[in-house]
Amino acid sequence: MKMTFRWYGKNDKIPLEHVAQIPGISGVVTSLMDIPVGDSWPIKDLIELKNYVNSYGLNLEVIESVNVHEDIKLGLDSRDEYIKNYQETLVNLSQIGIKTVCYNFMPIFDWTRTDLNMPLKDKSTVLSFDNEQLKDLSAQDLVERIRNDSSEVEIPGWELERLDEIEGLFKQYETVDEEQLWENLKYFLEKIIPTAESCNIKMALHPDDPPFSIFGLPRIMTNQKNLQRLLDLVPSINNGLTLCTGSLGPNKDNDMPAMIRDFGGQGKLHFGHIRNVKRINDKSFHETSHLSSDGSLDLYEIVKAYKDINFDGPVRPDHGRMIWGEEGMPGYGLYDRALGITYLNGLYEAISKARDE
């Protein structure tokens, strides 16, 4: 495994100097944060980004995310122009050595939580999702809650200028059910996978977070069967997955080690997000440290599955607790994610050496 770290550009409160000090780190996963969704990413900006990351001794081989414009997900006539821009972005990314692009196909909302600062017994805070609370909220209520809880930091996937149009977006999705969303995804893949093949870029679709419908919106990247359906839409080594244990983990029926072995065995597992969650009840959960005993997932078995398939691609810790007085983007502090990396690397080393004995 190549251990990486999600970094949000020069405006991130976490400097690359600190990221580079994490033991076992190979590079960062990042994006151009100031480019509107749907626009082509300028090669000049990409070269500047790569050079900046490399100046700290870190690699840049994974982009997360090149977000998909809502018109593409909706299947509107205007989608072809946005797909063309997406193709141009892939070509430009290939010119700076990007090998993997993470993206998602979630309507309107990216990852969704009802609380960005839920306190645990140890006084750390985590992201949480309470399905009972969601029943009492409108979509606009949730947007306002995210605005108020985000510490004046714009959270990727929750760009406020886009969510200001939320009522209109919901109106447009009234005619899009799950099967129509599948058709719109297929159309998109049929256009971009040939470009990805020519650029030698692996497209890695991220599952829906959480893995079930919210506010009646269709969500389709939710389980092993549907992830396989995605791969079968456009069969290509370049059409693959980001397997996020924390996104799929709230559903107890999602067997994460089995998925890693299955999709990894097919050569379709291109990127891994490894984190833990604590299931509270059906469709409610909160996040935790990466430690297995703190949550509902067995991180030992998850890391063992990666070792079993000899995975040599990029992985990263995902959302962490906010600890030790750190302030910043909820879920994306330095300290707990650095602890997560150390824990994951320790598991991997122990599993590897036990097999060599």
Active-site positions read 206, 244, 273, 318-319, 332
The angle that helices 299-308 and 256-265 make with each other, rounded to 10 degrees, is 10
* Residue 207 tokens, joined: 């599952």
208 and 104 Cβ atoms separated by less than 8 Å:
yes
Long-range interactions of 52-56: CB distance < 8 A, separation 24+ = 52/10, 52/16, 53/7, 53/16, 53/27, 53/28, 56/16, 56/17, 56/19, 56/20
Residue length of the chain: 357
Amino acid identity, position 293: S
**If we measure between CA atoms, which residue out of 110, 271, 84, 42 comes closest to residue 188?**
84
The angle that helices 79-95 and 178-199 make with each other, rounded to 10 degrees, is 30
| Cα diameter, the chain | 61
93 and 63 Cβ atoms separated by less than 8 Å:
yes
- Between CA 308 and CA 256 the distance in angstroms is 13
Going across the sheet that includes 284-287, the strands are 115-119, 125-129, 284-287, 277-281
**If we measure between CA atoms, which residue out of 221, 273, 271, 291 comes closest to residue 251?**
221
Residue written as token pair 């799950």: 178
- Between CA 350 and CA 265 the distance in angstroms is 23
CA Rg, the chain, in Å?
19
